[in-house]
A and B are shown apart, each in its own frame.
Chain A
Amino acid sequence: MRFEHPATFNPIDQLKVIGHPTSRIEGPLKTTGTAPYAYERHNVVANQAYGYVVGSAIGKGRIGAIDLDAAKAAPGVLAIVTADNAGKLGKGERNAAPLLGGPEIAHYHQAVAVVVAGTFEQARAAAQLVRIDYVKGDGKFDLAAERDSVSVPDPKIGGPADTAVGDFASAFAAAPVQLDATYTTPDQGHAMMEPHASIAAWDGDKLTVWTSNQMIAWGAEDMAKTLGIPRENVRLVSPYIGGGFGGKLFLRADVLLAALGARAAGRPVKVALQRPLMFNNTTHRPATIQRIRIGAERDGKITAIGHESWSGNVSEGEPDMAVSQTRLLYAGANRMTATRLAALDLPEGNAMRAPGEASGMMALEIAIDELADKLGIDPVALRIANDTQVDPEHPQRHFSQRQLVQCLNEGAARFGWSKRNAKPGQVRDGRWLVGMGVAAAFRNNLVTKSAARVRLDQQGRVTVETDMTDIGTGSYTIIAQTAAEMMGVPLEKVTVRLGDSDFPVSCGSGGQWGGNNSTAGVYAACTKLRETIAQKLGFNSAEALFADGVVRSGNRSVPLGQAAGAGDLAAEDAIEYGDLAKTYQQSTFGAHFVEVGVDADTAEIRVRRMLAVCAAGRILNPKAARSQVIGAMTMGVGAALMEDLVVDKRHGLFVNHDLAGYEVPVHADIPHQDMIFLDETDPISSPMKAKGVAELGICGVAAAVANAVHNATGVRVREYPITLDKLLEALDID
């Protein structure tokens, strides 16, 4: 099904099932521990051996010699795979650094061997006996030091390296009020709770992997490419994924090493990345340095806005597109952005929840707050004054929907923003200095092809199959809701099967595109199934009504199961998009409000209240969507206050590479969170009239926290995370 024109009334608009806050259909499995994750699938194949990964001990250089004798002789060892004996390996389309290193080492903890043994304990012990002599090379690990020796990248996504409209330099120079500030964001880790894990089994030259991957088709394709085998010989299965956040978008070392280990050992092998290996072995959100310049009239109208960003990556790696939102969020006739990329030898930087906007909004939304300070204008009012309903670079292009102003107003009213004292450091609650902060939320809505297959059986049960994944997002549930709405059956009559490369290729989970596109793909397949059913029954498909488990046309009415007849009826289709993403700018909007307390003595920062107001198209399931947003808000608090993969610039690694060293928020850090969605449907986005929401929720949160800290203390911290040591000196002691 091609989606070329804005959607009109369609079966989804009945909202009998869609739009309801249905509990997740897989909830009973997850809460009882019976949902099967990759590493624990004892029943899928017999005789599983255990692989343990050895990571490079250096950040840059090469392997001089490997001695495997002791490891091979260790009890239970079945095979050891290194780059020496793995055979010729290709590299996945979406991998920058090779997943199996050697002799060249691209980064610290790059996998250099997998030891396969009969038990986990044997594999782990033998892995310690692998002796590797390294020849250290000179690596570059310091982004700030490389800032002046960067290249102009040609980004694959997120727009060109340089953009310009009008005459930024002159307008900025002429502006009566100017802001010129530089912000830094650190490297951040996904730190999903389930480590990357896979079981691999060969049947002749056919490979099956049970893994934990957000993008099934990408994974299968890159697996085939890396192993140099036909794509059709690879099957990837990933029905449950213990968190991803972008860290499981791509083929990673666990899958490859399980497959290589299984081939070498001659039996199925399972591999989970050890937690202390994950932070350097896998990808991360790259650190940025961002300079923002804004020129404004005294009434607050922005006349010039410029955003430059520097990030680093391994060879073939992409820059973090932190400038993206600045091209679209605020009005202003004169604009520029610039993205620069440093060659670093740290682990590969790649997508993490809202890549680009997440780090960009961390900086931009402090800058707006600083500008508001300079102007003496309320930061909510300043944002509203600079709203635009068109793409500022192409004024003929309208936003499909843009309710930023409504989000800000609604949020301000609900949060009690009017009680905020604009003068910092004035509000005290016992030992706490109290402040409020606001930030806009912005994230683009991406549309992409997504396919599904829908089957109807004699019992009237509808089964949906698509390689879409559920990484905690609620895919199972919203897909079931979509199929139930389309076919006119109750939710209980729908079975959803996900995450298998034998199923039609979906959009997958990433970039907050999963919810809208995967359900639109199911919509397309269901539309086709409805036509097939109508035809079979001799109904005019345009007139046939699907409701209450029956198909009606005129005064004829047939139970759905009966329509299926003896065999199942099946239909497969995909949603494919025309030009609407080009003719309209499709984005999602929100506003974050945060209240913090800063301990007047110790400068410890604790979040006291949070509210997000979002406008993101039709909300397919308000319960699951709200969870996506509050989860993103939580990650935003982490980004604001603690998350920091610290680079050791001498040894070239992230030092704090475990969950004790890399702190993420715990229960005690997060207060009750309020979150509301504005009523919105976006017929330009898809037949579902929905958009993404899971990444919108993180964009701006950290800045809202930072702005609240400033309001509480008067201290402006421009280097994330905002930790107490950065406030201490400026805080007067009582």
Chain B
Amino acid sequence: MTTISLDVNAETHQLELDNRTTLLDALREHLHLTGTKKGCDHGQCGACTVIVDGRRINSCLTLAVMHQGDEITTIEGLGTPDGLHPLQAAFVEHDGYQCGYCTPGQICSAVAVLAEVKAGIPSHVTADLNAPVRLTNAELRERMSGNICRCGAYSNIAEAISEVAGRSA
């Protein structure tokens, strides 16, 4: 057992955790922040995506003890039912989900994708590595590919993100 403090959604939590506890399980089972989902627990689906120090990661493949002092943002930190984040609102408007289980991961990922594009980070489909990155539909789809939606809401998710990206651009 190790005592750590986690900064989640701008709140500091002291926790005594088994070293084996993943960041995902610390969030879900200890802090009861269950918006972050466990879909596979092996980095194969993206449902557990959270933003740590500004970057999206799979919270299932990292240990909580490795995140002492890191700034963690989960879906709960983006918005609430009465105060939706623009991406959350766009997902509702465009029906960018069905069962809802991959949705928090999709939205956290989307928030980070928009930041990655802004930061000029290229992707697999970026035609010219040395030119500025533009958020095309192909870029969006490639960058979001680490978030599986078995309900198949991809087409709507892409529209939701595009709308927000267009607005903020």
Contacts and interface: CB of A to CB of B under 8 A. Distances in A.
Contacts of A626: 95
A31 B145 contact: no
B153 A631 contact: yes
B154 A670 contact: yes
Interface string B130-161: 00000001101110111111111111111000
The DSSP consensus for interface residues of chain B is loop
B102 A33 contact: no
Given A31-B91, A32-B84, A193 B155 contact: no
A120 B148 contact: no
B59 interface: no
A393 interface: no
B45 A472 contact: no
A471 B100 CA distance: 9
A243 B151 contact: yes
A270 B81 CA distance: 27
A39 B151 CA distance: 20
A667 B75 CA distance: 20
A641 interface: no
A658 B103 CA distance: 20
B98 interface: yes
Interface in B87-113: 88-89, 91-93, 95, 97-104, 107
A583 interface: no
A506 B64 CA distance: 43
Contact of B152 (A119, A272, A670): A670
B93 A472 contact: no
A395 to B, nearest CB: 38
A32 B150 contact: no
A587 B88 CA distance: 37
A103 interface: no
Given A658-B42, A660-B44, A630 B152 contact: yes
Among B98, B104, B140, which residue has the most Cβ atoms of chain A within 10 A? B98
A109 B1 CA distance: 32
Nearest to A40: B34
Interface string A432-475: 00000000000000000000000000000000000000011110
> Which of B25, B33, B92 has the largest count of A CB atoms less than 10 A from its CB?
B92
B141 A32 contact: no
A194 interface: yes
A190 B101 CA distance: 15
Contact of B42 (A36, A120, A659, A668): A659
B45 to A, nearest CB: 5
B25 A627 contact: no
B168 interface: no
A119 B92 contact: no
Given A666-B145, A667-B147, A667-B154, A27 B101 contact: no
A474 B84 CA distance: 20
A30 B44 contact: no
Interface stretch (A61-69, A136-144, A632-640): A632-640
A28 B91 CA distance: 9
B118 interface: no
B149 A193 contact: yes
B101 A634 contact: no
A670 B141 contact: yes
B39 interface: yes
Given A31-B92, A33-B74, A192 B150 contact: yes
B18 interface: yes
Contact of B34 (A30, A42, A627): A42
B150 A243 contact: yes
A599 to B, nearest CB: 15
Contact of B155 (A23, A194, A242, A673): A673
Contacts of B137: 672
Contacts of A35: 100
B40 A668 contact: no
A27 B91 contact: yes
Interface residues of B, number: 65
Chain A: interface secondary structure?
Answer: loop
B29 interface: yes
B56 interface: no
Nearest to B124: A668
Nearest to B87: A31
A289 to B, nearest CB: 27
Nearest to A29: B81
B88 A28 contact: yes
A121 B54 CA distance: 28
A207 to B, nearest CB: 23
Contact of A191 (B20, B93, B150): B150
Contacts of B101: 37, 192-194, 242-243
Given A193-B102, A471-B99, A272 B38 contact: yes
Given A472-B151, A667-B144, A623 B81 contact: no
A42 B84 contact: no
Contacts of B37: 33, 37, 193-194, 242
Contacts of A241: 99
A242 B18 contact: no
Nearest to B108: A33
Nearest to A197: B38
B28 interface: yes
Most buried by B among A30, A194, A472: A30
A37 B38 CA distance: 11
Residue from A27, A633, A658 with most neighbouring chain B CB atoms (10 Å)? A27
A174 B84 CA distance: 67
A108 interface: no
A651 interface: no
B74 A24 contact: no
Interface in A604-633: 623-624, 626-628, 630-633
A623 B95 contact: yes
B26 to A, nearest CB: 11
Contact of B103 (A31, A40, A244): A31
A31 B84 contact: yes
A664 interface: yes
Nearest to B140: A667
B21 interface: yes
Nearest to A28: B81
Given A630-B153, A664-B150, A667-B140, 6 more contacts: A34-B81, A275-B44, A472-B97, A473-B98, A632-B152, A659-B39
8 contacts: A29-B100, A32-B79, A32-B88, A193-B102, A627-B153, A665-B154, A666-B154, A667-B149
Among all A-B residue pairs, the 4 with the closest Cβ atoms: A33-B35, A634-B152, A242-B101, A472-B98
Interface of A: 23-24, 26-37, 39-40, 42, 119-122, 125, 190-195, 240-245, 272, 274-276, 471-474, 623-624, 626-628, 630-635, 658-660, 664-668, 670-673
